[in-house]
Structure 1
Amino acid sequence: MTIALSARRESQTAQRGRPNWLARAVQFLPIVPALLFLLAFFIVPVGDILQGGLVDADGHFGFAQFVRIAHTPVYAKVLWITFAISFLTAALSILLGYPVAYMLSRMSARVRERWLLWIMLPFWTSYIVKTYAWMLLLSKTGVLSTIALSLGLVHETNGVIPSLTGVLIGMVHSMLPLAVMTMLPVMRGIDDRLAQAAETLGAARSTSFFTVFLPLSSPGVAAAGLLVFITSLGFFIVPSLLGSPKESMIAQLVISSVLELFDMHFAGALSTVLLCCSIVIFLVYDRMVGLSSLTGEPTERSRGSRAQGLKLAVLMAAGRFFAPLMMRRNAQSGPAARAASPLGLYTIVILVVLVAPVLSVIPYAFTKAEFIAFPPHLFSLKWFGRFMTSPVWRSAVIRSFEVGLGTALLSLALGFGATLTMTRMSARASKPVFALLVAPLIVPRIVVAVGLLYLFSRFGLTGTNLGLVIGHTVLAIPYVVVTLAAGFQRFDWRLDDAARVMGASPLRRITSIVLPLLMASVTAAFLFAFLVSFDDLTIAIFVSGGINSTLPKQMWDDIQLAITPTLAAVSTTLVIMIALVVAFSSWLKRRAR
């Protein structure tokens, strides 16, 4: 449809006497600012990392930094731990999230929206807030240890952290919503009649599931696994706060090299190793699955009988694992019946596990005590007062809001033009452009942060709000593009054609037709970009400077010194803000529908 509309526009332009090549050039102009922005602040910084890693301590080009990494066993061990933890996080997130995504995909749109609210709340809640919550729950004097001791389940409170178990709990809790949100669109696109046809032909319910539904949903599973794995490679908050030195990940070494050792070249070499490993994984993923699965398109490539047999074996094994949970799809069964099913009860348990830790920090914000203890001694508002009246915290909040608003406006302007242009491209041309626009989402964030530090240090942007806005915009553009692309898919382009026939200019059509009808998607993209900026810690650590911090950076500095009720008050404020943003976004979607 998009190609047909594009051809129609070109023919109409040619009839007016304008050269065809000029019409095409004008159509592609809105995407140019986004491409130039990513070229300057994403591709060039990543190139700087590759170059910086080839410079030794004396300023000479060579492989000395990489030789140092190869000949130091601790770095190889950290790299192995990073990949092992990332793989376990991706596997557990998919195993736990697949039934939830399946359950949500079988619901009506209205009921699904209500359930998604409880997934979006922990999804957009700050990583540092979620990690702080798990510190309160899993520590030696935390909630779980205290309850277990009082019930006589244990004789002494050892706590779960610091340990590998604590790291995996924190990381899976953070990544599980991402896995569900990635798999859900693919599952929603699977036609129910295919499974019904298999059952009509005599297939059992479980056989129908893992021979029909599971293979068709495999692109979503693969995309979720890739995004969770690569995102986990750049984690440092969770392993730093919930793990021991045995669970150190490579991102922690990068931060230590920059902030403690002041060795930028070695940090660049470490980032290069992480980037190259990510590229290799990405190429293997493309070889086995195909990059188009990231957009939810179930494409099958001919990989040979051996690869297909392996894939079928994996799908059948996973299908046998999930089949007992899968309820019979009955068009007459209502939400109550679904919730009472084994799959519905499992989904409720998962949602409780996702939301409860986030909400568990709230009582500590109202404690009277000067320290964190369970149960909290209620009721006092003094910690909110200290948070609001502290010049340090107030400055961090103001700076985060300023940078967040600037990021949301800039990323929305760049992303809207890019997405609008992609709707006028052919499918073959739009896929590589889409891949470039979402590339910051699938490159470890620590790599982007180090690259921007290289770039900004040369132009004096380190420690400035402008530098933070630029860095956060690089991270926010993928979210804006994905959100707007979903809105453009539902847009009726015949309205735009009608306005064109009536003589409306392109700018007039955008302001009077496109933007009003896509206002829900535009507002959601704006809010998501704001939250990406407001929540970011990685870019802030390298770019914000040491004088004025953002709110996540200030929380990070404080939480490493002590776990105080003030942090609980800050976390509670952030949770309330996220809940309001998610509820407002959901209200906009319902109103647009």
Structure 2
Amino acid sequence: MSFPKRLLPAIPALLFLGVFFLLPVAEMLMGSVQNSSGELSLENFERIAATPVYGRVLGITFWISALTALLSVLLAYPVTYLLTRLSPHGRERWMLWIMLPFWTSYLVKTYAWMLLLSRKGLVTSMAAQVMDNPSGLVPALSGVLIGMVHSMLPLAVITLLPIMRSIDKRLAPAAQTLGASGPMSFFSIFLPLSAPGIAAAALLVFITSLGFFIVPALLGSPREMMVAQLVISSVLDLFDMHFAGALSVVLLACSLLVFLIYDRVAGLSSLGGEAPKDRQSGRGLQLLFAIGHLCSRFSSGRQRSGDGVILPGYSVLLVMLLILPVLVVIPLAFTSSPFIAFPPKLYSFKWFAEFFTSPVWQTALLRSLGVGVATAFLALVLGFGATMGMRRLSARWRKSLFALFIAPLIVPRIVIALGLLYLFSRLGLAGKDLGLILGHTVLALPYVVVTLSAAFRQYDWRLDDAARILGAGTFTRLRTITLPLMSGSLMAAFLLAFITSFDDLTIAIFVSGGINTTLPKQMWDSIQLALTPTLAAVSTTLLVFIVLFAVVAQWVSRRSLSKREGA
């Protein structure tokens, strides 16, 4: 089959990214080198270089993002290691609990931490009594890190898991048969082989954190201001698109530099759950290999005392810490008081009634649901074609296309949002549902491609070959074999795309329009005014919705697993 025919399924996704990702970013780059009169000028970059506060904000952004990546990977690694040792059904149950906080809206999680860490919050009240702290406040930097690590830790788990599961389980028993202790076999074999997963998780968490503004804006102080907050302020408060573009270009350049270093160190393939096969792509991982072997020397004479209790105990505690902060919101939704206070005065349903009867909240909810479903379908169709197209190409072309398809995951969201504002303002799509769907699909497409790429590697293509030999056409094989066997992965990809759209605030701030906005944007506007019980009712409703969605996804995943086992 010729190259154009092999590439044919991926062409729609390539065209989509070319128009709604590459073109907007290019327009933003052009806008950054123009002054207010539209003339070519570097005055925006000179302003950034000459003003110390911008350099400080950039440094704070990298420092907070790096700490978030480090803490997330360190905390997630033991849990992920435990998941690799469980049965498929046991791992599925654990992943459900881990993913529930991940699927929960960033605004809901941040709202929960605001309630816990505020002056009269549960955590600060207890800390004030224990530590005799009269202010009862958690330091702003600590609060930002708590909120960001809580949001990013599940992402680290799901990034680590594919590579850690691909490690041959027979290696550790073989090492122990040859006399190595349990810790020695772990540090000398498992830890080095899982290094690409560590690098992939650190990269995704770091890049995602670079574009954060919700957590630092709501939990931090001006000293913890990040670049994304400056970009939003430049557009919405100062109406200076060109300067906002220059700030975004600086952030984009830093992100691309980190990405290039990562590709040199770990290899791009590890983002899709695949360990690097060539020596050169994984050469930079020799440091982790050396660390592993050094640790193995110190642990060579020790046995795994209590490993069967410590690791599960730690994992249970961590999962509880992921879930419990979000659950704090629920009792506050039933308070009879018009104010947020601990303990809440129960019981009343008036805040749910206010949410479900308010035209403003209901319009925002229905718009988010409609845009989310449309985004998930579009991203799934484009992502499935892109993944099918990449499967038929050589390794060199597959790596290049994979890099393009996951590029929106590498570029900070604030950069994409600003670029889309440039484009949609000209096309008349700003404030329209179609503009939101297109913008959210740009964000969701990488998650679909990564999810389906990992699923296709485990797919038994001999079934497809057998059907083709028996005379089944391409669409017949797709309808009767591929789609039914891939239904679990397709549902997972659909869910990720839907949650990405439903939870997005960055694109919504620039594109959603004024009065008729999305639910996250409406929550964002309300949170900045006051912490009200109505927000708790909205958050509780979203939690129930996410749980129901997760249960449906798990049911479909089990049916897909049963079909594969039957095949």
TM-score bucket (shorter structure):
over 0.9
The amino acid that maps onto 1:281 is: V
2:9, 2:388 within 8 Å by CA — same for their partners in 1?
yes
User: 1:568/1:322 Cα in 2 relative to 1: closer, same or farther (>3 Å)?
Assistant: farther
**Aligned counterpart in structure 2 of residue 213 of structure 1, from 170, 190, 193:** 190
- Which position in structure 1 is the counterpart of 2:159? 182
- Which position in structure 2 is the counterpart of 1:242? 219
- Which position in structure 2 is the counterpart of 1:14? none
**Is 1:227 the counterpart of 2:195 in the alignment?**
no
- Which position in structure 1 is the counterpart of 2:407? 439
Q: Distance in 2 between matches of 1:263 and 1:42?
A: 22
Q: Distance in 2 between matches of 1:175 and 1:590?
A: 27
**Is 1:291 the counterpart of 2:268 in the alignment?**
yes
Q: Distance in 2 between matches of 1:509 and 1:97?
A: 39
User: 1:528/1:293 Cα in 2 relative to 1: closer, same or farther (>3 Å)?
Assistant: closer
- Which position in structure 1 is the counterpart of 2:253? 276
How many residue pairs match? The answer is: 561
- Which position in structure 1 is the counterpart of 2:445? 477
- Which position in structure 1 is the counterpart of 2:70? 91
Q: Distance in 1 between matches of 2:265 and 2:303?
A: 27
The within-5 A match list for 1:577-592 is 577-592=545-560
Return the offset for 1:378. Answer: 0.6
Q: Distance in 2 between matches of 1:40 and 1:489?
A: 29
Q: What per-residue deviation string (whole Å, max 9, x for no partner) do you get for residues 151-181 of structure 1?
A: 65536342215x1000000001011111111
- Which position in structure 2 is the counterpart of 1:191? 168
Q: Distance in 2 between matches of 1:323 and 1:246?
A: 46
- Which position in structure 2 is the counterpart of 1:63? 42
- Which position in structure 1 is the counterpart of 2:564? none
Deviates more, 1:69-78 or 1:177-186: 177-186
**Is 1:517 the counterpart of 2:485 in the alignment?**
yes
Deviates more, 1:434-443 or 1:544-553: 434-443
The amino acid that maps onto 2:250 is: V
Q: Secondary structure at the match of 2:529?
A: coil
User: 1:158/1:108 Cα in 2 relative to 1: closer, same or farther (>3 Å)?
Assistant: same
- Which position in structure 1 is the counterpart of 2:138? 160
1:258, 1:264 within 8 Å by CA — same for their partners in 2?
yes
Return the offset for 1:425. Answer: 2.1
2:9, 2:385 within 8 Å by CA — same for their partners in 1?
yes
Q: Secondary structure at the match of 1:514?
A: helix
Q: Distance in 1 between matches of 2:157 and 2:230?
A: 30
The amino acid that maps onto 2:137 is: G
Return the offset for 1:523. Answer: 2.4
Deviates more, 1:292-301 or 1:185-194: 292-301
Q: What per-residue deviation string (whole Å, max 9, x for no partner) do you get for residues 75-125 of structure 1?
A: 000000000000000011111111111111111111111111110001111
Q: What per-residue deviation string (whole Å, max 9, x for no partner) do you get for residues 31-58 of structure 1?
A: 1110000011111111112111100122
Q: Distance in 2 between matches of 1:484 and 1:490?
A: 10
- Which position in structure 2 is the counterpart of 1:407? 375
Return the offset for 1:326. Answer: 9.8
User: 1:47/1:322 Cα in 2 relative to 1: closer, same or farther (>3 Å)?
Assistant: farther
Return the offset for 1:547. Answer: 1.9
- Which position in structure 2 is the counterpart of 1:13? none
**Is 1:109 the counterpart of 2:77 in the alignment?**
no
Q: What per-residue deviation string (whole Å, max 9, x for no partner) do you get for residues 211-270 of structure 1?
A: 111100000000000000000000000000000000000000000000000000000000
TM-score, normalised via structure 2 length: 0.94
**Aligned counterpart in structure 1 of residue 457 of structure 2, from 465, 486, 489:** 489
**Aligned counterpart in structure 2 of residue 47 of structure 1, from 23, 26, 36:** 26
Deviates more, 1:389-398 or 1:432-441: 432-441
The amino acid that maps onto 1:75 is: Y
User: 1:59/1:325 Cα in 2 relative to 1: closer, same or farther (>3 Å)?
Assistant: farther
- Which position in structure 2 is the counterpart of 1:82? 61
User: 1:481/1:303 Cα in 2 relative to 1: closer, same or farther (>3 Å)?
Assistant: closer
**Is 1:558 the counterpart of 2:526 in the alignment?**
yes
Q: Distance in 2 between matches of 1:69 and 1:582?
A: 45
Return the offset for 1:502. Answer: 4.1
- Which position in structure 1 is the counterpart of 2:398? 430
- Which position in structure 2 is the counterpart of 1:344? 312
Return the offset for 1:290. Answer: 2.1
1:325, 1:342 within 8 Å by CA — same for their partners in 2?
no
2:487, 2:557 within 8 Å by CA — same for their partners in 1?
no
Q: Secondary structure at the match of 1:192?
A: coil
1:178, 1:228 within 8 Å by CA — same for their partners in 2?
yes
The amino acid that maps onto 1:50 is: L
User: 1:26/1:298 Cα in 2 relative to 1: closer, same or farther (>3 Å)?
Assistant: closer
The amino acid that maps onto 2:100 is: L
Q: Secondary structure at the match of 1:369?
A: coil
The amino acid that maps onto 1:518 is: M
**Aligned counterpart in structure 1 of residue 9 of structure 2, from 8, 12, 30:** 30
Q: Report sequence identity in percent.
A: 61
The amino acid that maps onto 1:29 is: L
TM-score, normalised via structure 1 length: 0.90
The amino acid that maps onto 1:85 is: I
1:289, 1:300 within 8 Å by CA — same for their partners in 2?
no
User: 1:45/1:25 Cα in 2 relative to 1: closer, same or farther (>3 Å)?
Assistant: same
**Is 1:569 the counterpart of 2:537 in the alignment?**
yes
**Is 1:377 the counterpart of 2:356 in the alignment?**
no
Q: Secondary structure at the match of 1:549?
A: coil
- Which position in structure 1 is the counterpart of 2:236? 259
1:78, 1:248 within 8 Å by CA — same for their partners in 2?
yes
- Which position in structure 2 is the counterpart of 1:6? none
